[in-house]
Structure 1
Amino acid sequence: MPSSMDRMRHLLSTGEHSDVHFLVLPAHQFILKIASDVFEAMFHFDAKKERPENVSGNCPAEVEIPDIEPSAFKVMLSFIYTDDLSALNGDNTMAVLYAAKKYNIPDLVLPSLQISISELRNVFFAYAQALLFELEDFSFKCLRYICQNAAQLFGSDDFLQIDQKMLCNLLESDRLLLSDEFEIWNAAIRWADEKCRQNGIECSSGKRRSVLGPALFKIRFPNIHEEIFAKCVVPSGVLTEKEVLGVYQFNAHPFLYLHGIPGLYSLKFPSHGRIFDWNKAKGNRRGTIALEIEKGSEFAVESVGSRRLSDAVEIKGLALKIRARITESDCIDDKKCLGFYLWCDAKEGGPSNRVFSATYRIELMEPSNGFYNREEDKVTLAIDFTVKDEKIEKFVADPNKSNGTLSMEIEKLSEFAREIKGSERKSEAFRITGMPWKISAEIEMEYENNEKWLGFYLLCDASEKDEHWSRKCSATLRIVSQKNGTEDLIGRLNNLIFDKKSTGWGFSNFIRFAELLDPSKGFYNREEDKMELAIDFIMDETKMEKIISDPNKSNGTLSMEIEELSAFAREIGGSERISETAVYIKGMTWKISAEIVMDDVKSNEKRLCFSLLSDDAPKEDENWSCNCSGTFQIVSQKNGVSNFISEFDDDVFDYNENKWAYLYSISFAELMDPEKSFYDQSEDKVTLAIEFTVNEAKPEDKS
């Protein structure tokens, strides 16, 4: 005996006793009215009309459905009669969806949306239908598929048939997987030319611009390489002269726009990066990684060390992520800070190195600052970055070269000055004695006065060396004058030891940015918005010979002339001179050190601090110590005037104080006062001396 499903299938296939004909096949009003309230209303309306062919009851009413494909209508009828969806496929699923929506058959909607996006005949049409029917999940899947396959789909004929509104939606996406923004420009022009052809109008620059309409302003022209923009985009004539100049001005000074500072020409186009297909990209490319920290208020109360990671962006075999981590504040007690990092995981077998530069954009959590979305309780972090398609070359320098000069220009200095603490710029590497040396400029903060300082360092990146590598050098760090008649700003460091633990030396507070950016100081080129840093350094490749001194000798005298004292006095705090001569007592080398320090109370007053030091105090024994006694002297430069003398007695020189035994300081104003007789004005020098006695070195009594 046939089942009820078989009987329904028989009615549909034969049309037996049908009372309505849809021109594709006969059907039964009673069955359709049960399945759809739309069919019920339609047939009820038709029944009220005076239609002779319907009154007789011998001829089924004919109904034309011009807006639904016959194959899709058959699928719908098959589902209504027998729940059969075997004929549903990628070619007709969107038409079936339209029919299900039109006739309000909700049980047919879900199966229509379960077809794989890749099987759809036209994903652009599917995306349009999903937007029309407000199917958020399905529209998201369609958009994601389009973005992931943009290189293929943007070259298809289906792309040329989309309307302007959809083109705008697509060009707004951050995830179009094309090799660069120039491909997006080419696709948009191809679309505009096709629309001109369809409308029978000339493909001129003006018509292209008119057809593109608002879609033109979704293209991120600042992300197109400057040379390609100049050679390919500008000559097309689609952009106005002011729009072109706005792009050029942004590329020269992007910081002005990021902080809302008006320029001569406004930028009409978005500038944030897209996430491109980096494995196909060549040359320098910009991109953006974003991380939304949801439930930001909960994250903020988590313990120090808690973190969040963004999804990875694959670039040239590397997986880049944003890492957000809760850290302790180094400036405010009992306060937490957000650590914000560019994180990289190299794939196995991928390239060993790439060159990256990154700009961190943070939208943070204080409601009054406008960074925290309080309604959605979230914080958004983003990193705009550039990956350079260049290899880091390793080269062998002259092995006999023991000195050199590094230099680095910091362009867009005004933008750098507004970045956060820890932002830095590094020079290219320069090799001396087989080691790579660099300049590092870093933003430092003095929290007490809320002032930014320029940190200025000499770096030695010797990660490829063994654990026991070391180098010794002296360095002069300079901010190069940009103004005739202005001297370089100088800081000197001597006897610097670089090793695995100490890879950088310099000055954390070289100069305040407020002072650096003051054009009257002569260090800042305001027209070109740049400054120049330089480091002159000399390697000390000599090995210290072990000198066996008289074991009974326990005292000695050191002296040092500081020549060009007036120039030394103009150097920054931390600059130092160390005596070239040394004495050897108790198996250790003793010297004089003279260093510029800033007065703690009168911050603008410089003082000369000189001290007794030893380069080779024992480091292997934490318990050693010795006592020193003696006098510090500033040698008089006038006949009949005694030396200035300051005594010290039984000062401890131990493991924790293994460099400085005793400090004495005098202001430069007093030191260079002609009335004081310390300063030889004609020769511009001062002479320092130390007479001292070292007691027997012995373990320190810890009891």
Structure 2
Amino acid sequence: MSLNLTASPSDSGNRDGIAKISDGMQLILTSTELSDVQFAVGRDYGDVKTFLAHRLILSIRSDVFDTMFYGSVPETCSAPIDVPDIHPEAFANMLSYIYTDAVKNLSQDNVFHTLGCADKYDLPLLVAICVEFALKELKIQNCLDMLDSAVLYASVAPSILEKCLCLIDESVEIVWKLDQFCAIGYEALRIILQRDMLTANEDKIYSAVEKWTANMCKSKNVGVSPANRREIVGRALYLIRFPLLTDTQLLDGPVQTGLLLQSEAWDICQYKHAVIKPDLPFPTESRQNVRSQGVINYTIPDLRELSEASKCSDPISVRKLLWNIEVVKRTDSGSATLGFYLECSGDPECDSWKYQVTTEFRLLPWKTGTTAINKQFEKSVFDKKKPWAGTSRFASMKDLLDPAKGYVNPADFSLKLQVHLTADLPGAAG
């Protein structure tokens, strides 16, 4: 049989004027001609889809397929090969990569399925593509969804898991409030509680676990009772640093709800106050979470649309307070400038909080060779009356919007900003 090079109405693509090998390979992939193997994919997902492919092409790209088709005990290929554990979208992405070196339909919904598929068929470059995509898409709003998947693929892509956890470390006060938190898996919760760099007080960590156990009880259709809570949280309970709670927090919190047994609470009180201290199953050392430095990154999506209504970055945690970038368009005597500020949410439990903060505001140019714009502010005082620092005239909007200057991305007029901050101890401002 020979490959018919004449385009016809039944062809899924037009062969006239194919200039690149990748275009030809895409046409072969979407065509049924000369295919010699079928795959029935996705039974475990309830959506079985049949894919036609070419054994030789698959074997050239993957040692797994080479062994499957040309090893000592090759597949007969007389019937579709059953692939129940791979999602059809992931298998389609893999075939696209094998045939064309491109993955056009990678998305947040299928990237981890594709990652698993790439690992199964030993395609390390496709693994790298998936990792790069996931890291680029990662943000506070989806970090918990990604964390559950990253835990499953930790051995394949440990960098995704670590990046998720670092983001949670920095912004855990926001993460607790996300709807997704109450639905994360047990292993994800356990790994979070193990973290030594969580930027939250232990009472907040305990409260988040209480909320998670209550939701898990409801999802399993069991009563929200102390016994059920303890059974669901399991050994992860002993990752909460209960000895760091005040006596009031201990008695009004986990003792009152029954998450802690009275005998456990008594041992904790003895440990805190008695000369002879009992051994505890709970960690007793504080988390090393009081960071004095941080870096905030923010990309203005389209500088042309920036107005006098300010835009803010996602916050990070430094000194257990939340800090974010705020940008706004300022107009003075007909001249428009970029207002660029660092803002602090402050300490809701203390009206007298005060920090001395050294900051460096950076504009990161899109074009290589363009000099970055940096402005430093030494020891700005942040407190309840003035929880911000920065300038209303960081740079001329006219200059920034000129693609020839090299600051904005000419494709979408996005602009990258960064703030480095160092916060001195509370009260150091004198």
Partner of 1:141: 163
Partner of 2:416: none
- The alignment status of 1:204 with 2:225, answered yes or no, reads yes
Shift of 1:115: 2.2
Alpha carbons of 1:271 and 1:47: their partners in 2 closer, same or farther (altered >3 Å)?
A: closer
Greater helix percent: which structure? 2
Shift of 1:97: 1.0
Shift of 1:78: 0.8
- The alignment status of 1:131 with 2:154, answered yes or no, reads yes
* 1:16-31 correspondence to structure 2 within 5 Å: 16-22=33-39, 23-31=49-57
* 1:405-420 correspondence to structure 2 within 5 Å: none
> Do the aligned partners of 2:108 and 2:137 also contact (CA within 8 Å) in 1?
yes
> Do the aligned partners of 1:32 and 1:39 also contact (CA within 8 Å) in 2?
yes
Structure 2 CA distance for aligned equivalents of residues 164 and 192 of structure 1: 10
> Do the aligned partners of 2:118 and 2:127 also contact (CA within 8 Å) in 1?
yes
* 1:138-177 correspondence to structure 2 within 5 Å: 138-177=160-199
Which residue of the other structure, out of 5, 14, 26, is the alignment partner of 1:9? 26
> Do the aligned partners of 2:193 and 2:239 also contact (CA within 8 Å) in 1?
yes
Partner of 1:235: 256
Shift of 1:156: 3.7
Q: Which runs of 5+ in 2 are unaligned?
A: 1-16, 40-48, 291-316, 322-345, 359-376, 385-424
Aligned Cα root-mean-square deviation (Å): 3.5
Shift of 1:95: 1.4
Q: Highest CA radius of gyration, 1 or 2?
A: 1
Instruction: Please give the per-residue CA displacement for 1:282-305, whole angstroms capped at 9, x wherever unaligned.
Output: 448xxxxxxxxxxxxxxxxxxxxx
Structure 2 CA distance for aligned equivalents of residues 316 and 273 of structure 1: 23
Task: Give the secondary structure class of the aligned counterpart of 2:149.
Answer: helix
> Do the aligned partners of 2:29 and 2:53 also contact (CA within 8 Å) in 1?
yes
Partner of 1:112: 130
- The alignment status of 1:86 with 2:104, answered yes or no, reads yes
TM-score, length basis structure 2: 0.58
Partner of 1:191: 212
Task: Give the secondary structure class of the aligned counterpart of 1:349.
Answer: strand
Greater strand percent: which structure? 1
Which letter does structure 2 place at the counterpart of 1:348? S
> Do the aligned partners of 1:117 and 1:145 also contact (CA within 8 Å) in 2?
no
> Do the aligned partners of 1:246 and 1:268 also contact (CA within 8 Å) in 2?
no
- The alignment status of 1:42 with 2:68, answered yes or no, reads yes
Instruction: Please give the per-residue CA displacement for 1:85-142, whole angstroms capped at 9, x wherever unaligned.
Output: 2322333221111111011011111111112536255221232134243x44333212
Which residue of the other structure, out of 376, 382, 403, is the alignment partner of 1:350? 382
Alpha carbons of 1:268 and 1:118: their partners in 2 closer, same or farther (altered >3 Å)?
A: farther
TM-score, length basis structure 1: 0.37
Shift of 1:10: 0.5
Q: Which runs of 5+ in 1 are unaligned?
A: 55-60, 257-261, 285-314, 321-344, 353-386, 393-463, 465-703
Task: Give the secondary structure class of the aligned counterpart of 1:317.
Answer: strand
Shift of 1:191: 2.1
Identity among equivalent pairs (%): 29
* 1:253-402 correspondence to structure 2 within 5 Å: 262-263=276-277, 265-274=278-287, 275=289, 277=317, 278-279=320-321, 281-283=347-349, 317-318=355-356, 347-351=379-383
Structure 2 CA distance for aligned equivalents of residues 246 and 347 of structure 1: 45
Structure 2 CA distance for aligned equivalents of residues 319 and 224 of structure 1: 29
Which letter does structure 2 place at the counterpart of 1:65? V
Shift of 1:48: 5.7
Partner of 1:401: none
* 1:300-699 correspondence to structure 2 within 5 Å: 317-318=355-356, 347-351=379-383
> Do the aligned partners of 2:148 and 2:185 also contact (CA within 8 Å) in 1?
no
Structure 2 CA distance for aligned equivalents of residues 190 and 212 of structure 1: 11
Partner of 2:422: none
Shift of 1:47: 7.7
Which letter does structure 2 place at the counterpart of 1:242? S
Runs of 4+ in 1 over 4 A off after TM superposition: 44-51
> Do the aligned partners of 2:65 and 2:121 also contact (CA within 8 Å) in 1?
yes
Which letter does structure 1 place at the counterpart of 2:100? T
Partner of 2:95: 77
Which residue of the other structure, out of 75, 78, 86, is the alignment partner of 1:68? 86
Structure 2 CA distance for aligned equivalents of residues 167 and 11 of structure 1: 46
Shift of 1:211: 1.5
Alpha carbons of 1:244 and 1:181: their partners in 2 closer, same or farther (altered >3 Å)?
A: same
Shift of 1:49: 6.7
